[in-house]
């Protein structure tokens, strides 16, 4: 039997995914200032009309790309945690890897740009809230009921995420490669009584 062709919906979804992936690639390679819709369109190999069909503005495209990148990071953490067992130490290791790679750096580019771009900030806020909720759920799965039952669990999650963002930003100029591990070890000792 001959293979069936892709449906219009499948083609639309593939185009959308190419645009999101191209946006993330451009953010990592060129930064926020160098990520233009024209550059994204060229990298994705789509027409201007296709880009505008999916994303009416640059801010909408960037917000969707940030959400897409975060979903990929979270899916990777879940997958790895499921395959290797869930322990706080393993969770911290996975989170560190997920919050230091190219997808995370693309998000940082947008957070910094949103400080002075009200349209971008407005577009990013709903996606960031959704991602924050998903991140807390992943952390709850990894750390287990003993940690999630604590009264300071929300602060534990937020402090860990803020710590990772700060390490990613300051890591650009840091010369001591072991600093991240030492600082995360201190965090784990303080909040979990464990060393990652």
Report the pLDDT value the prediction gives residue 91, as an integer from 0 to 100. Answer: 72
SS3 assignment for the chain: CCCCCCCHHHHHHHHHHHHHHHHHHHHHHHHHHHCCHHHHHHHHCCCHHHHHHHCCCHHHHHHHHHHHHHHHHHHHHHHHHHHHCCCHHHHHHHHHHHCCCHHHHHHHHHHHHHCCCHHHHHHHHHHHHHHHHHHHHHHHHHHHHHHHCCCCHHHHHHHHHHHHHHHHHHCCCCCCCCHHHHHHHHHHHHHHCCCC
pLDDT tens-digit map of 27-74 = 989 999 999 999 999 999 999 999 999 999 998 899 888 888 877 777
pLDDT at 101: 75
For residues 91 and 143, the answer to whether their CB atoms sit within 8 Å is yes
- The tens digit of pLDDT for each residue in 24-39 reads 999 989 999 999 999 9
Please tell me the predicted confidence (pLDDT) of residue 20.
Answer: 94
Residue 34: the pLDDT is: 94
Instruction: Tokens for 25, please give them.
Output: 């690639």
Answering whether pTM is above 0.95, one says: no
Per-residue model confidence (pLDDT) at position 84: 58
Exposure pattern of 7-21 as b/e (b: 16+ CB <10 Å)?
A: eeeeeeeebbebbbb
Task: Tell me the two tokens of residue 49.
Answer: 């009309």
Beta-carbon count within 10 A of 88 CB: 20
Q: In the chain, which stretches have pLDDT less than 50?
A: 1-2
């Amino acid at each position: 039997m001959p293979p069936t062709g892709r449906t219009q919906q499948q083609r639309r979804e593939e185009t959308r995914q190419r645009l999101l992936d191209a946006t993330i690639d451009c953010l990592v390679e060129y930064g926020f200032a160098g990520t233009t819709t024209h550059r994204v369109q060229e990298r994705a190999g789509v027409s201007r009309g296709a880009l505008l069909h999916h994303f009416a503005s640059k801010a909408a495209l960037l917000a969707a790309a940030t959400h897409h990148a975060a979903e990929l990071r979270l899916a990777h953490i879940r997958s790895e945690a499921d395959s290797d067992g869930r322990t706080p130490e393993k969770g911290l290791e996975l989170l560190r890897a997920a919050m230091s790679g190219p997808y995370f750096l693309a998000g940082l580019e947008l957070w910094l740009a949103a400080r002075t771009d009200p349209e971008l900030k407005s577009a990013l806020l709903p996606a960031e809230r959704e991602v924050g909720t998903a991140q807390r759920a992943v952390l709850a799965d990894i750390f287990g009921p003993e940690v999630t039952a604590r009264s300071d669990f929300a602060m534990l999650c937020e402090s860990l995420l803020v710590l990772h963002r700060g390490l990613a930003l300051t890591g650009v100029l840091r010369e001591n490669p072991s600093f991240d591990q030492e600082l995360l070890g201190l965090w784990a000792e303080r909040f979990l009584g464990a060393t990652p």
